[in-house]
């Protein structure tokens, strides 16, 4: 055996040992504790997120060589690398709760920064798996490199590549803030998310609280609006993340993948809409049934379903083309635009604009929600942001007015004539106006004759169609066919 080979054997044996230490994470006891809490380890999570066997780890030996006698830390509390999601390259990092509670030391910070920079430079989607305590307490006493950190770089990623965050445990401080720059945030039921945990809140404010009170999954999904979707299990969270990314392009400037052949998703009449949509404006119905009837195979992902319930945002395919849907929900407040609904819509319209997704709006609303509480919450500002988002949108905007469209409620949904629609469609049942006829007549103190005339003008599609307020008035059964025809234009 040559001397070179003997020297290599020693180095390679040490490499294998260090690699094994990294793969052991926090050790058997801490892994067992993680499993006892019903949680997976960082490596198990990455294995479920990526296509099987495709993880190419980066920075495995970070934290393994601590001078001054400090105990080596496997991966320094974070595992990450590149891999395939639905056959396409992506970057992911997973906080490792079995090592220092997933807290961020200097090697950890350097690895996070390297991974996010890789996503930025190579223009690859980024997935953040959060389960960590934020900055490590000892950081302030050690040298900190004067370089950009992952927080700055994740902010730079917005609108350039898809970014998804999964909150899978207790996430606090720096890690939690970084995750908020994502386009789509999924949170595991039972997880917690906050800027500072109970000990810091107690010390700073004298308030005794719990992780659940500070930032439970249900609270963030239904009240704060910080997270978009809940998952009942980690597997469900990974499935949802992979499904979301299947609708998105790899990066801005590219088209989303068409996963099915067009022949398998041909346009056709949907007679069921005649049973689902009442032609009169006062009867409610579930817009989800409409979406299920017109989308390919009846499938779609509803985005942020627990927040702003009077409006639905969803990803669906029509003729195999991934599309962002923004639809009023007549079952909730008659579909009125609330602060939460407007905030939700603005966010996802901006995502559609950034990544070139077609935008389909389905209108049936009485306007922006009035009243003291709504005004105090800032409904005008929120609705203004929603209007600006759809006005700035530069893709294929398909606007369909199903029934009611009054006041600013029609404008924020993109119904204004010549508002850059690829097409504006109406059903014969539409009712339009600056405000509903009865309330409008009362507010204007109109005569009975004028009130009747106002009612006539607002009833049906014929008057607005005569004035070119719509491009087409169609049979509800033909709606899917009309949508696909526009999406298949070349």
pLDDT surpasses 60 at 450? no
pLDDT surpasses 50 at 402? yes
* Domain membership of residue 141 as a residue range: 17-247
Range 284-296 average pLDDT: 97
Rounded to the nearest 10 degrees, how much is the dihedral formed by the CA atoms of 268, 274, 280, 285? -90
Question: pLDDT tens digit string along 171-215?
Answer: 999 999 999 999 999 999 999 999 988 998 999 999 999 999 999
Q: How far apart are CA 141 and CA 51, in angstroms?
A: 41
The last residue of a domain, from among 217, 247, 277: 247
Closest CA to 474 of 421, 400, 408, 414: 400
Residues 224 and 363 in one domain: no
How many residues are recorded in the chain?
Answer: 490
Contact assessment for residue 172 and residue 196, using Cβ atoms and an 8 Å cutoff: yes
Residues 284 and 394 in one domain: yes
Residues 320 and 282 in one domain: yes
The last residue of a domain, from among 191, 213, 247: 247
pLDDT of residue 444: 39
pLDDT of residue 268: 73
Closest CA to 226 of 187, 188, 171, 168: 187
Question: pLDDT tens digit string along 242-267?
Answer: 999 999 999 999 999 875 555 455 67
Q: Which of 123-137, 158-172, 458-472 has the highest mean pLDDT?
A: 158-172
Q: Identify the CATH number of the domain in which residue 183 sits.
A: 3.90.226.10
pLDDT surpasses 50 at 356? yes
Q: Is the dihedral of CA 101, 134, 64, 42 positive or negative?
A: positive
Residues 347 and 471 in one domain: yes
The last residue of a domain, from among 247, 273, 299: 247
Q: How far apart are CA 303 and CA 359, in angstroms?
A: 14
Residue 2 forms part of a structural domain: no
pLDDT band at 458 (very low <50, low <70, confident <90, very high): low
pLDDT band at 149 (very low <50, low <70, confident <90, very high): confident
Closest CA to 230 of 184, 276, 269: 184
Question: Which strands form 163-167's sheet, in the order they lie side by side?
Answer: 56-57, 78-85, 88-95, 126-130, 163-167, 184-188, 229-231
pTM of the model: 0.92
Residues 200 and 55 in one domain: yes
Residues 188 and 164 in one domain: yes
Residues 307 and 175 in one domain: no
Closest CA to 34 of 86, 83, 84, 99: 99
């Amino acid at each position: 055996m040559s001397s070179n080979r003997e020297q290599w054997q020693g180095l390679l044996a040490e490499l294998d040992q260090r690699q094994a230490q990294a793969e052991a994470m926090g050790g058997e006891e801490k892994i067992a504790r993680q499993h006892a809490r019903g949680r997976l380890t960082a490596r198990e999570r990455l294995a479920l997120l990526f296509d099987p066997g495709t993880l190419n780890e980066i920075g495995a030996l970070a934290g393994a060589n601590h001078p001054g006698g400090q105990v080596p830390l496997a991966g320094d509390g974070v595992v990450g690398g590149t891999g395939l999601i639905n056959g396409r390259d992506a970057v992911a990092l997973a906080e490792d709760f079995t090592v220092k509670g997933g807290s961020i030391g200097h090697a950890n910070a350097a690895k996070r920064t390297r991974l996010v920079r890789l996503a930025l430079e190579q223009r690859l989607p980024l997935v953040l798996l959060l389960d960590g305590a934020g900055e490590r307490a000892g950081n302030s006493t050690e040298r900190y490199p004067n370089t950009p950190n992952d927080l700055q770089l994740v902010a730079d990623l917005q609108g350039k590549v898809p970014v998804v965050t999964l909150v899978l445990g207790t996430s606090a401080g720096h890690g939690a803030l970084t995750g908020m720059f994502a386009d789509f945030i999924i949170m595991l039921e039972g997880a917690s998310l906050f800027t500072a945990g109970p000990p810091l809140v107690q010390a700073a404010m004298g308030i005794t609280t719990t992780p659940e009170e500070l930032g439970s999954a249900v609270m963030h999904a239904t009240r704060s609006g910080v997270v978009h979707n809940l998952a009942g299990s980690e597997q469900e969270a990974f499935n949802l993340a992979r499904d979301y990314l299947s609708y998105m392009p790899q990066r801005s400037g590219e088209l989303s993948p068409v996963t099915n052949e067009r022949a398998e998703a041909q346009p056709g009449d949907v007679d069921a809409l005649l049973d689902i949509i009442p032609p009169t404006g006062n009867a409610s119905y579930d817009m989800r049934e409409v979406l299920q009837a017109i989308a390919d195979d009846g499938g779609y992902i509803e985005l942020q379903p627990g927040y702003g319930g009077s409006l639905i945002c969803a990803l669906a395919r029509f003729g195999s083309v991934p599309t962002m849907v923004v639809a009023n929900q007549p079952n909730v407040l008659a579909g009125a635009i609330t602060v939460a609904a407007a905030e939700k819509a603005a966010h996802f319209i901006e995502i559609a604009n950034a990544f070139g997704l077609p935008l389909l709006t389905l209108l049936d609303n009485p306007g922006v929600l009035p009243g003291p509480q709504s005004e105090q919450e800032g409904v005008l500002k929120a609705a203004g942001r929603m209007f600006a988002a759809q006005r700035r949108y530069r893709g294929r905007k398909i606007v369909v007015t199903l029934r009611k469209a009054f006041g600013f409620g029609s404008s924020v949904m993109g119904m204004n004539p010549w508002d850059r629609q690829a097409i504006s469609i109406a059903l014969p049942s539409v009712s339009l106006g600056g405000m509903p006829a009865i309330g409008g007549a009362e507010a204007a103190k109109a005569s009975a004759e004028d009130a009747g005339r106002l009612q006539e003008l607002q009833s049906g599609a014929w008057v607005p169609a005569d004035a070119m307020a719509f491009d087409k008035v169609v049979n509800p059964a033909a709606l899917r066919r009309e949508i696909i025809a526009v999406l298949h234009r070349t």
